[in-house]
Amino acid sequence: MSGRRRRRKPSAHGRPSGCTQPAPAPLTCGCPGATRPADAVWDPTPAGFRRHEAVTVIGRGEEAWRTAAEAVLRWEVKLRSGFSLAPADSGLEPRQDRGPGGEPGGEPDNTPDPTPEPGPDGTPHKGEARVRAGEDRIVLARLGPMVVREPVRVVAVVDAEDRAGCAYGTRAGHPVCGEEAWVMSRDAHGTVRLTLRSLTTAAPGLRGLLFPGALALQPLYRRRYLRSL
């Protein structure tokens, strides 16, 4: 008998036939990056989505900018609005495979979070690590005794001198389909603003039955987002 090891033939999906780990949950948001967090003007968006944009003034000056920009890059808009976060491989969804390169909108990048960077005042930041394009997370929303699991993927990150924010798209298993972005910006006069953008449509299959309830809750959570910082 030959001592050479036989390679397992890949399946039709390009995975070994004996592989027990499930494939990463695909994006369901349609067009990753459609909320355009890097752009001050939001271009026309894909058809079939409910579009929403709102802006509020956060403060003025360098300190207000640095604090708010750091917060928005660490999920604080979501966390301060009553949500919590879990890693993609936390057991709350099928374990995610690490994708090559973690390209936005492609395979997920679930490498361990790096050591948290210092906060705006130079002291270690004790909250969430900064968002990374391609990163998969599970957003947890508590509705009374129930916890709704929302699989998402970060599809865009901007971290510039006068603009900072991110966008995430829904993955399979999310109760709706779409994309959401929070962006902090600073104008020439030092005014700091938070912009919220979202695209929403019904999820396929039976999850689409949840869409009317999700629409009813959106105004509540949007108010929380705009007051979060």
pTM: predicted TM-score of the whole model, two decimal places: 0.72
pLDDT at 92: 56
Q: Which of 57, 56, 34 is nearest to 47 (CA)?
A: 34
pLDDT at 115: 37
Find the length of the chain.
229
Rounded Cα gap, residues 153 and 147, in angstroms? 19
**Domains located in the chain, CATH noted:** 50-108+129-227 (3.30.530.20)
pLDDT at 146: 83
More confident: 217 or 50: 50
pLDDT at 171: 93
Q: b or e along 100-113 (b: 16 or more beta carbons within 10 Å of the residue's beta carbon)?
A: eebebbbbbbbeee
Model confidence pLDDT, tens digit, residues 85-112 = 988 876 655 333 333 333 333 334 343 4
Give yes or no for residue 124 having a pLDDT over 80: no
Q: Residue 144, CB half-sphere, CA atoms under 13 Å: how many?
A: 0
Model confidence pLDDT, tens digit, residues 70-92 = 999 999 999 999 899 988 876 65
pLDDT at 194: 97
The region of weakest confidence among 7-21, 29-43, 121-135, 171-185 is: 7-21
